[in-house]
Structure 1
Amino acid sequence: MIRPAVLTAIKLIQDRYFEPLTLDELASEVFISRFHFSRMFAETTGVTPGRFLTAVRLFEAKRLLLTTSLNVSDIVCSVGYSSVGTFTSRFSRAVGMTPTQYREPQVAELLVAISPHYQRVPPLSALRGAGRNCASLRAGTGTLALQLDLPAGLPAADVLVGLFADPVPQCGPVAFSGAGAMYSGELRLTGVPAGSWTAIAVARHRVVGAAGSWFSIGYSTAQVAAHGLSTGRVELRPPAPTDAPIAITLASRQSPFSQRMLAMQRPALRAVA
């Protein structure tokens, strides 16, 4: 059961992310001590209040970069940062490209987004153009077979699975794979670096006769060996209000897909901080 205090705090973050919110303010709004609130929030959402707030701010910054012509300084102010330099450094470090580079067409084309108000999975034809790896040069030798348990009663779905170093990723996965018209079953990821990763699966269920699509999402920890076959399982469910928003692109300055695009424009691009 989701605790009402956590839902209230999440609603406050979503409504006031552009303000200089602090942990003490959030705790006082739900009448809980700072220590108890922080522990309760992390137990419910999997991340601290501060990381949830950062996820909301970066999600909104990405949305504005991709869907508006606002300049970066206006976006900085609208998502709760006071310094363009600080925002640019944090954004570049987290995302792997500068805010200006994030406006390249391929970023939007290969965007994966899940939030309470917006869900998107790129078409599988676009994913094939992205290559095997994205956002990382850490090509590995492991193979991961993931059993995906999709929600019962929903139609087949286009499914995308990525492996991330962070449970709330801001840049692309170290490896990914996708499948169309899939029910529950196995999906394999190859070229995976050895280590412990967060597997995130997103499914878009196409409902005949309905406007739009239904989405489901699932998280799990995957241990991948350097060689041979590793296994794991992800159980998908409808998005929940306690899920931190995710917006990652499979286009990257480091991937073969985006290197071709960037080669023609390199003189005009700034280096990532």
Structure 2
Amino acid sequence: MDKSVRPAVLQAISSIRERYFEPITLADLASEVFVSRFHFSRMFADATGVTPGRFLTAVRLFEAKRLLLTTSLNVSDIVCSVGYSSVGTFTSRFSRAVGMTPTQYREPQVAELLVAISPTLRRLPPLRTLRAAGRNCASLQSGTGELAIQLDLPSGSAPADTLVGLFADPVPQCGPVAFTGMANVHSAELTINGAPAGQWTAIAVAQHQPGAAGPRFSIAYSTVHVAPHGRSATRIALRAPAPTDAPIAITLASKQSPFTQRMLADARPHLRAVA
């Protein structure tokens, strides 16, 4: 993106993050940075990969998830605090996007298996989760494809616990259709088995060990194609999170997933809330 327009996009993102609970409109954001709505929408999408409206929705849903997991506020209070005026409308939109109702999202396994990347909250599931995923990836959809991913961590970074998932949406709100993870790796090849055929957004997240000069967390987004049979391959280079990244909060928990049931059986005595 042209450096001359970057400050305008960053200013708009800052406004969204600070005022997401207000009734912000596209016209409001465009007027703040003194450009037309059409030009603003185009340069915002060029910088972030999504429209201003989708970025705002991502921020609101992220904050709703955070409040559900970290506070005892009732749902109606959370609805008001993230910019929605109707509990019914919010519940319908949340359930459709996330695959769970707000009440179900408060179940302990959701927090235990949470992946979150934002300026205020960054976490991966525990090491045992990543080790289990590496041994036996649990696809939430049945698939016959196999995707080999060469992961390149940032130069100079420490080894990391890494998770890679395939998503239908570039800003996902629900769990991946397939995923795998590995603990304490540097640049390495991971394989996702049982991946559904088609085009997906691969999102890789790494939590690096402390002590190195590189980033503590790194992330990557890549469009990948999975063949219906046989082995597909791709290469993904991770980087430090950027201000233009929409926040992500997805859980690997799913009542239909055998992976979740296995993790619950292993981890139930040690479940903890997200800090």
Any unmatched runs of 5+ in structure 1? 263-273
Q: Amino acid of the residue matched to residue 251 of structure 2?
A: T
Q: 1:191 to 1:207 in 2, by over 3 A?
A: same
Q: How many residues are aligned here?
A: 258
Cα offset, 1:256, TM superposition:
2.4
1:98-120 Cα deviation digits (max 9, x unpaired): 00000000000000000012110
SS in 1 for 2:220: strand
- Within the candidate set 163, 168, 173, 2:166 is matched to 163
Is the 1:164–1:172 contact (alpha carbons within 8 Å) kept by the matching residues of 2?
Answer: yes
Secondary structure at the residue paired with 2:147?
A: strand
Residue 119 of structure 1 aligns with which residue? 122
Match of 2:138 in 1: 133
Matches within 5 A, 1:133-212: 133=138, 136=140, 138-208=141-211
1:105 pairs with 2:105: no
**Amino acid corresponding to residue 145 of structure 1 in structure 2:** A
Report the aligned-residue RMSD: 1.9
Alpha-carbon distance between aligned partners in 1 of 2:101 and 2:239, rounded to the nearest angstrom: 33
Contact 1:145–1:188 (CA<8 Å) still a contact in 2? yes
Whether contact under 8 Å (2:168, 2:201) holds in the other structure is yes
Which letter does structure 2 place at the counterpart of 1:222?
Answer: V
Distance apart, 1:123 and its partner CA:
1.5
**AA paired with 1:200?**
I
Residue 171 of structure 1 aligns to a residue whose secondary structure is coil
Deviation digits for residues 126-154 of structure 1 (CA, Å, limit 9, x no counterpart): 345676336x3x21000000111110101
Distance in 1, Cα, partners of 2:195 & 2:76? 38
User: 2:242 pairs with 240, 243, 259, which one?
Assistant: 240
How many Å apart are 1:259 and its aligned residue? 6.0
Partner of 2:79: 76
SS of the equivalent of 2:77 reads helix
Alignment-derived partner of residue 228 in structure 2? 226
5+ residue gaps, structure 2: 265-275
SS in 1 for 2:233: strand
Paired position in structure 1 for 2:255: 253
Task: Report matched runs for 1:20-39 at 5 Å.
Answer: 20-39=23-42
Contact 1:76 / 1:83 at 8 angstroms: preserved in 2? yes
* Residues 51 and 209 (structure 1), Cα distance of their counterparts in 2 relative to 1, 3 Å cut: closer
Q: With structure 1 as the length reference, what TM-score do the two structures score?
A: 0.90
Residues 1:5 and 2:2 are matched in the alignment: no
CA 1:123–1:261: 2 relative to 1, 3 Å: closer
Report if aligned partners of 1:150, 1:235 keep a CA contact under 8 Å in 2. yes
Q: Does the aligned pair in 1 maintain the 2:130–2:162 contact within 8 Å?
A: no
CA deviations over 1:13-42 (Å, ceiling 9, x no partner)? 000000011111110111010000000000
Worse-superposed segment, 178-187 or 252-261: 252-261
Distance 1:226 1:190, change over 3 A: same
Q: Per-residue CA shift, 1:172-222, capped at 9, x if unaligned?
A: 001111111111121110000000000000001111499xx8100001011
1:62 is aligned, of 48, 61, 65, to 65
**Which letter maps to 1:115?**
S
SS in 1 for 2:165: strand
User: In 2, Cα distance between the equivalents of 1:241 and 1:35?
Assistant: 22
Letter in 1 for 2:225: Q
Q: Which amino acid aligns with 2:165?
A: G
Q: Match of 1:80, as an amino acid? A: G
SS of the counterpart of 1:25?
helix
Match of 2:92 in 1: 89
Between 1:238-247 and 1:117-126, the stretch displaced more is 117-126
| Letter matched to residue 234 of structure 1 | I
SS in 1 for 2:253: coil
